[in-house]
Structure 1
Amino acid sequence: MVKDFLSSNKKIYDAVHGFIPIDEFEKELIDSLPFQRLHYIHQLGIAYLVYPGATHTRFEHSLGVMYLATLMFDKICESVRPDVFHFVPRKGSTEYLYWRRVLRMAALCHDLGHLPFSHVAEKDLLGSCGHEEWTLKIIGSSHLEPVWEKLKDIPSCLEELTERNLVEDIKKVAIGESKWQGLTGKSFTPWERVVSELITGDFFGADRIDYLLRDARSTGVVYGLFDYHQLIETLRILPSADQGVNELQLGIDENGLESCEALLLARHFMHRRIYQYSSVKAYNFHLRRYMKANFKKKSLESVDDFLSVSDIDLIAELTKAAKNPDMPGYRDARCIIFREHRFRALTLPQSMTEKEIKEFQKREKISDAEIGWEFYPRDPPPDRLSFPVSRRHIVIQKARECSDLLLKVPSKRSNWIYISPERDLSLIHFLESWEA
């Protein structure tokens, strides 16, 4: 039965990672309606209007995350320090096979709850719970129940682990501890936290690594490419630099510091050149405003309704709206479909507040239809550089203590303002006078 559990008799060819092996249970999940829908959810939203190659989808990204997370899991289970040895399942054991299975299924499921065009309007339409709440609903829905029932029938999957809840573990690992606590009020064990971080971790997560590589390859912006093989090779489960073995964390051997620096720089440059690029932000603004005005509440009432909507449906609605002045979102639709009258997107000085923007709007007599803005919380960002580094295989230090370069990479997000082309000169003069 163990052999059946691990066997991979099928392969999917991926543009980034080459052949990705899958087994019959993963194939059944991939063939399901929720996963097939990801074929029609663009990874980078509407960025393909600026970067023509950015037509890749959440479908291939999820396969890539499964592939990378598996490599990472195998590495951390074979390179184990003595002081964390008792936390880590032995390679080939029932527990090892169980968590490897959970990880691969969770990786495939981690993006099932995305709205059309991914993140563009999720903050406005889904609130603070984001797409993760819908991911949990879909994992627990009747669409995937047959897959989970078949998995439960594998003796090597649940043998000696009768206290585990397979579906709940997949949910946990798919969305991460922070979202799980917010939605359920429950916390993770140290081992659950480590397994989940292989997918959702802010620094080492396979989700982050794959989207940087895939987005860079698809757009042609090579800043996102880095030596992820070296990063995975040096990945370790380490005691926390603050709390020791009482808290486990994903960290690296000191030989992987350069690849960590490369990852952080790649993310910084990809944000500047793609994710936070002004033309992309402008199109996102128009699409977000259109979706806020038109996205049907019915689509958020049930899993079936949610799964029935994808990018294809929204593009059809945009095309129809762009030809009918009486439809809500007409001007935003024309901007997207016919590329006319697009707003200008500009970054705001960090010291400027929403109050000053509203005063400018009132002074210049600018209507709400001619302007918009986007402010991010001023709370300090999470400390991405607190992960542990193993030096000389003994000493544990925080990454920030080991690399000057990591500390120098900017982490602040810019605030944005969007203005109609007829009004942009007055805004530019206002911003120039503010900075003078």
Structure 2
Amino acid sequence: MKKSKLTILGGGSTYTLGILMSLIEESNHLPLSEITLYDTDISRQEKIGKAANILLKEHYPSLEKFEYTSNQSTAFKDADIIFVQIRTGGLLMRELDEQIPIQHGLVGQETCGGGGMSYGLRSIPDMLQLVEAIRSINKEAWILNYTNPAAIVGLALDKVFPDDNRLLNICDMPIAIMKSYADILDEDVWNLEADYFGLNHFGWFTKIQNKYGHDYTSELKHLIQNNDFKPTDKLIANDPSWQSTFKQAKQMVQDFEEYLPNTYLQYYLYPNQLSQKESANNTRARQVINGREKEVFNDCDTIIKQNNTENIDISGDIHGVYMIRIAASLVHHLKERFIIITRNEGIIPNLPSDALVEVPALLGRNGAEPFKVGEISTFYKGLLENQYAYEKLVLEAYFENDYNKLLQALVLNRTVIDTNKAKNVLSDLFEANKEYWPNLN
């Protein structure tokens, strides 16, 4: 099997070492000759990069070259695959994204509602510049983008690069949920296939079966409704916030039993309940800053000091493996089935054709071949049309420098709705993002 060259954008991320461990564990699916990390935060990436170099020398002896850089030409020139996950403004801006809506009695979440809008408007210019830079250097690389909020970022990329079929927007949440389904069923998650439809972070599983055709859907609903439903992927299994999220997903299955929901739907279906659970002094961003971020960089310090990874727990997770198997299917033309984000164009005929829908697709050398979903019923159509209208207005507000469209977007969003709250939270988000947002009129 031909070896590939991989670049990871956002090399200073706390997820990088886990992704590298996933690459090691999945090297039979995606053998690599070179790995390059790229980040504009040089000091942050340097610590990750030094630890990564030790990790890879120990556990990936067949890898021919590893480097970390802030030079775009070095990072992009010969890459076959480019993973993209950036966080414009870092975790401190994420904390404001979450705090400000909470202070107004709203859901404070990095991809949903006011926080998601804030993060999206910051992310769009950096993502557009990055893809433009990649394509000016490398026309053929597969760009796999999983930068949040994927719905807004994906729409911007689709608008500016509509014909780039080697640019895919992907989210790992469906596979993380399927990992819990697999463990409930005592199945291998890679032996399960899902029928799924929606927008990013806003969708439903309509069928779960194994590759031999056994339909588990009814059994899953019964098990979830009558037992504890917990996250089981190692990245989130012990996280109290994710445990609470999966508990709320059980409530969604009990209230709306037709389909199995994406966990993010909790913010849209129970916004008042969710907003009351949150504290501006203990946001998810703050928990990450005080938790995973400290742990990862402490681990890096230890690895660098002792010049080995002994007694350091680094392991792959479903997030990394999903990206790797998608890349393998594209590069090696495996035509395997994954849930990805793509332009609708009739996949769901009674939704706008320009919406970016999240659906199963076969992935091979020609890109994504999505499966048709067909028309959806009134409840789901209404929810999705409302959410897409919000996403589209955010995008139009950015490209047209239009304040009114941004206000309209927030009023439409199910986590906000109230016009006065929308105006007040928008005012505070403007102030917090004055270094990042465009000047809206």
Q: State the TM-score, normalized to the length of structure 2.
A: 0.25
Which structure is higher in strand share? Answer: 2
Structure (1 or 2) with the larger CA radius of gyration:
1
**Higher relative contact order (CA closer than 8 Å, sequence separation 6+):** 2
